[in-house]
Amino acid sequence: MPETIEIQLKKGVLTLCVLALLNRGDSYAYEIASTLSDAIDMGEGTIYPLMRRMQADGQVETYLVESSSGPSRKYYRLTDAGRRALEAQTAEWRAFVRAVDAIVDAPAAPAATPAEEGAEQ
């Protein structure tokens, strides 16, 4: 199942992505959902359980903005706890990417030595 690792990876970084988006500026759920669904292919509906969870964890808070057309819109902004979570998760993400890159991009030098020996024989 090639999709499995992809699902696990996306699941892991979804919170980080939302934190990073909100750090750039306050936003509303539709905007967050469409940005993330374009970028990492996530289901738009899942943003609502996630936002409620982040709100329960105290990482984001909401406020209403009056709209010229229709009902007022619910905006999300980062709390101090959210900013701390963003810092911590960003550091974890960077360290993880570095570690994986180091393995994936490692030069194939060790494998070349036995091959050369084989050629000499």
Identity of the amino acid at 81: A
Looking at the Cβ atoms of 70 and 110, the one nearer to other proteins is 70
Distance in angstroms between the alpha carbons of the first and the last residue of the chain: 41
CB 96 within 8 A of CB 108: no
Of 14-43, binders to other proteins (CB under 8 A) are 14, 28-30, 33-34, 37, 41-43
- Kindly state whether residue 52 participates in binding other proteins, applying the rule CB under 8 A: yes
Question: CB neighbours of 39 closer than 8 A, spacing ≥ 6?
Answer: 17
Q: Tell me which residues touch other proteins (CB under 8 A).
A: 3, 6-7, 10-11, 14, 28-30, 33-34, 37, 41-46, 48-50, 52-53, 56, 70-71, 73-74
